[in-house]
Structure 1
Amino acid sequence: MLSSVAASILILCDRLGVLGLCLRDILAEIKPADSDRITRLNAINQFSDYLRSVQSLRGAVVKPFGSFVSNLYTKWGDLDVSVQLDNGLGNSASKTLKRSLLRDIMKALRRYGVARYIHFIPNARVPLLIYEGNHHNISFDVSIDNYLGIMKSKILLWISQMDERFRDVVLLTKEWAKAQNINDPKSGTLNSYSLCLMVIFHFQTCEPPILPPLGEIYGGNISDDVTGWSSISERHIGDVCAANIERFRSRNLRRRNQSSLAQLLVSFFDKFSEVETVASEYAICTHTGRWERIDSNLGWARTSRSMLIEDPFERPENAARTVGPSELRVVSNAFTDAYNKLSSSSVLANRNSLISCLTRSRVSSQLGVRPQVHYTTGTAAIDPAAVLGRFENVMRLDRRSHASTSAVTVSRRANETTYLL
């Protein structure tokens, strides 16, 4: 006869199975089909055709990057494109020239009448032109000579090819974050790149890890190494990354993490459920694959920030620099709310509740679920010292052997399950 703890674990596994089926349905709805990819390629070709009429951009080449290149886009995802200048020098254009060229592109789009919602952002860190195409209904983010963005995208593609669960969790996280209104840097919440880095960090800090520290994939700083960009630079970075990825795979053949997609998503929400308190002292660092104390890095300590997610390709820049104090609380509450719901026996047993918790109405309605209003619940007052104490304990557990860590995790989850049931 099964003990009460063992029975609780079996019940939890069964209900996580329901979650797993829901995640499969959600992914089937949000993943792009071959036709979506072809539509994007046609839109890029059409944009290239428009540029041929711009005298100042003769010889320029349009290159996609971002989530489309890294294969981390949904069927509704935007298109990031970089207009690469043929100046023969291998150096990026000045910011002043980039602004001027983007104005020329904006004039061409208006002349042809092929775009709507045109928005020029000249003073952004990377000058940007945003528009939506009339023909393909795809939103474009256009920049000039964005070598760094192109290389980041390629490395993220190589990372996504290391384990298929990574792409799935990124897509699910993006959909959930949009449903909870925490994926909008313009309003002070997380950008999609930050969410992607948080998933990478989660996969690095699982036991056993699914991904290595990114410093083990490429030890240099991409932002420095793409200066004076050339095809030789790109090939060199690609060769180094490929060799290091293969080394990690060979080293971990017998120690593969067997967590299901449902387990990875629930533990992802758990890991960041108290990020508001932890963020005051720790940075999310995918370069080392560890939580790092902010005061250990002068570049971080001198920066005004509410949340610090280091950009592993542009260290020590903060990928989450747009997040403000009040927005961080909203983000943290969203993670806590998601973890609490996915730890609830009643929610785990109900397909409609699960899908409503994780998706926007456009997705849930396609999956046969009546649209619901999404909101983030408030959380009770917490003791920061207690949270940091628990956080420090989790860090210590992560350093134990796989066997002892698994035993502690199963025991803790079993106790939680017994309580929930």
Structure 2
Amino acid sequence: MNQTLSFNPILEPTLQEILQVIKPSRADWDARIRVIEELRNVLRSVESLRGATVQPFGSFVSNLFTRWGDLDISIDLYSGSSILYTGKKQKQTLLGNLLRALKETGGWYKLQFVGHARVPILKIVSGIQRISCDISIDNLEGLLKSRFLFWISEIDGRFRDLVLLVKEWAKAHNINDPKTGTLNSYSLSLLVIFHFQTCVPAILPPLSEIYPRSAVDDLAGVRATAEENIARISATSIARFRSDKSRPINRSSLSELFISFLAKFSDINLKAGEIGICPFTGRWESISSNTRWLPKTYSLFIEDPFEQPENAARSVSRKQLDRIAQAFELSQRQLVSSCGRDSLLSVLTKPHISQFLPRATPFINAPSPSHNFQGLQPRLRPIHMQQQNLSWQRGQNQSNGILPMTASSSNQNHNQNQVRFVRPRGQVAHPNGLNSQRTEPRSQSQGQQQMWRPRSQRFI
């Protein structure tokens, strides 16, 4: 790979420049928090949703969203009790009630009710920075998967960086839209996980070593207890993996990982008929010999490791699979050529990214993490929305939420070997890294929760 990269020494700094642009700033975090608060205000006016809670999930919770990323929202009906599943008809009715309330309130745009989808969705655009939102009912599975992706991203910081770059690249090539038969963002994240499992030496373990079975199947009984058990098992497994001194360390650069990622899936259209991608085992798996996947009715099979044997790539069509493989193959070929910076950008991003990049002669050395471009904010620490009466709660005191805390995501900190769950005390993290004093929680009306943020990414 080093020999290949010698033909294009500006790829690495170009990737770093793109990351500086697409990573969310403090304003991007704050805007999404404001959207969530506005939705909570609307929810209080809907009689059929009194007592329900507004909970983000998806890339916002996993810290894998870009500045222009959508916001996934779950309206949780039974947030503090036993796990009860809501029927599709009831979900359609409740989303219809919410749709009417949003129209009456005003300030929301492009309202679209997708009631006959596998999971009924209400799609809206907020008046705040025109953030697109997908609202569903009781999407516990989505929240669980988002947390798993966050935990995985904390094992090695290159995972988050590559996911963000791959998403931007996929959008540039129009292969990141399940409505048109291409890949959804969750599938792209799973492909990056699989790449990190199968590169040499491996960066991530098979996900069966993090959680030994389908995690969604264990969402039963008392919700707080079920989620806490899943978190505890996962934390112990991650700590064991990180503390393994015999594990060889992969020191590949981001550009090497990106090119090898493209090369690995450049013939996916030829492989997909016989083998599927299984992040749970970390291996290519034969479809015909895998009883969980039969009968095979999909163009591409990427098994959801947290909800087996569901296919995360079920939306991919046969026609679009050929185009997806072509995008992988042509992009890999272009990135290892001796093309200039503008040509690299045309492969890696949509045109609008260029306006945020410096126009000076590109430098060979990668920029420091604190480097700003065009007034953008420095790289931020992850911020997480923790609902007061959910997930990491112990006892009846709602102000004592337990947060999953992991080590710094820098790929240089391979020797960290512990994952702790830290009880928030008197301070919460300010998005710019400065601690601000947290006021005592006030008595809150039903449906309102406090937003917790980790004080730090490192062990404390």
Please indicate, yes or no, whether the TM-score normalized by the shorter chain is above 0.5. yes
Q: How much has 1:252 moved relative to structure 2?
A: 5.0
The partner residue of 2:351 within 351, 361, 364 is 361
CA 197–115 in structure 1, closer or farther in 2 if over 3 Å, else same: same
Question: SS at the partner of 1:200?
Answer: helix
Distance 1:97 1:359 in 2: 41
Structure 2 counterpart of 1:167, which letter? R
Distance 1:15 1:164 in 2: 26
Question: SS at the partner of 1:295?
Answer: coil
Range moving further from structure 2, 290-299 or 147-156? 290-299
Question: SS at the partner of 2:175?
Answer: coil
Structure 2 length-normalised TM: 0.75
CA 206–229 in structure 1, closer or farther in 2 if over 3 Å, else same: farther
Pair 1:227-2:217 in alignment? no
Question: SS at the partner of 1:93?
Answer: coil
Q: What's the Cα RMSD here?
A: 1.5
Report if aligned partners of 2:211, 2:233 keep a CA contact under 8 Å in 1.
yes
Report if aligned partners of 1:43, 1:136 keep a CA contact under 8 Å in 2.
no
Structure 2 counterpart of 1:30, which letter? I
Report if aligned partners of 1:189, 1:323 keep a CA contact under 8 Å in 2.
yes
Name stretches of at least 5 consecutive residues in structure 1 with no aligned partner.
1-8, 370-421
Report if aligned partners of 2:4, 2:336 keep a CA contact under 8 Å in 1.
no
The number of residue pairs the alignment matches comes to 358
Name stretches of at least 5 consecutive residues in structure 2 with no aligned partner.
360-460
Distance 1:143 1:228 in 2: 22
Structure 1 length-normalised TM: 0.82
- After TM superposition, the structure 1 = structure 2 runs for residues 169-318 of structure 1, keeping only pairs within 5 Å, are 169-228=162-221, 230-252=223-245, 255-318=248-311
Report if aligned partners of 2:82, 2:220 keep a CA contact under 8 Å in 1.
no
Q: Which runs of 4+ in 1 moved over 3 A?
A: 9-17, 86-89
Distance 2:221 2:108 in 1: 33
Distance 1:355 1:326 in 2: 27
Per the alignment, residue 129 of structure 1 pairs with: 122
Distance 1:232 1:273 in 2: 43
- After TM superposition, the structure 1 = structure 2 runs for residues 16-415 of structure 1, keeping only pairs within 5 Å, are 16-86=8-78, 88-228=81-221, 230-252=223-245, 255-344=248-337, 346-347=338-339, 350-367=340-357
User: Whose relative contact order is higher, 1 or 2, with alpha carbons under 8 Å and at least 6 apart?
Assistant: 2
Report if aligned partners of 1:16, 1:262 keep a CA contact under 8 Å in 2.
no
Range moving further from structure 2, 83-92 or 273-282? 83-92
Per the alignment, residue 385 of structure 2 pairs with: none
Report if aligned partners of 1:213, 1:289 keep a CA contact under 8 Å in 2.
yes
Q: How much has 1:314 moved relative to structure 2?
A: 1.0
Q: How much has 1:13 moved relative to structure 2?
A: 4.2
Per the alignment, residue 412 of structure 2 pairs with: none
Structure 2 counterpart of 1:32, which letter? P
Question: SS at the partner of 1:296?
Answer: coil
Structure 2 counterpart of 1:131, which letter? I
Distance 1:196 1:10 in 2: 25
Report if aligned partners of 1:190, 1:320 keep a CA contact under 8 Å in 2.
yes
Distance 2:3 2:285 in 1: 37
Deviations 1:188-232 (A, max 9, x none): 000000000000000000111100001110012122111345101
Structure 1 counterpart of 2:210, which letter? I
Per the alignment, residue 412 of structure 1 pairs with: none
Structure 2 counterpart of 1:365, which letter? Q
CA 299–254 in structure 1, closer or farther in 2 if over 3 Å, else same: closer
Q: How much has 1:364 moved relative to structure 2?
A: 2.3
Structure 1 counterpart of 2:62, which letter? S
Structure 1 or 2: larger helix share? 1
Report if aligned partners of 2:263, 2:329 keep a CA contact under 8 Å in 1.
yes
